[in-house]
Amino acid sequence: MPPDDSVYVGHMLEMARKAVDKVHRKRRADFDNDENLRLALAHLIQIVGEAANRVLPTFRAAHPDIPWTEIMGMRHKIVHDYLGVDYDIVWEVVTVDLPVLVRNLDRIV
């Protein structure tokens, strides 16, 4: 039996929290100078997107406040255009978008 949507949404929440925690008290310069941090954050964003992709369309439609298409699109960008990953966007996603996503997913879970 495949996992249900709550498993994937919970995984999205867990990975988004990990990413946000990794930049706690970090400045942009810290991010720019730490390749391991950049790679870790890109990977966590990728996982959030993969989990979002596995959530059923009916569940996604019931929660339009979550930017499902953008989340999945970011995952595709990191996976399929790995040479063109824009780390300015990764930083913005982790510092601006993911904290909002965490709050919204907390309401669902």
Average pLDDT of the chain to the nearest whole number: 95
2 band by pLDDT with thresholds 50, 70 and 90: low
Q: Domain limits at 37?
A: 5-108
Q: Is 103 a catalytic residue?
A: no
The count of domains in the chain is 1
**Residue 45 and residue 87: Cα distance in Å, rounded?**
12
81 band by pLDDT with thresholds 50, 70 and 90: confident
The mean pLDDT of 30-35, rounded to a whole number, is 98
Residue 24: partners with Cβ closer than 8 Å, 6 or more residues away: none
Q: Is 76 a catalytic residue?
A: no
| Residue 1 pLDDT > 50 | no
Tell the residue number behind the tokens 């999205």, with chain if given: 12
| Residue 82 pLDDT > 90 | no
pTM for the predicted model, two decimal places: 0.94
What share of the chain has pLDDT > 70, as a percent? 98
Active-site annotation holder among 24, 25, 27, 80: 80
Active-site annotation holder among 27, 75, 76, 107: 75
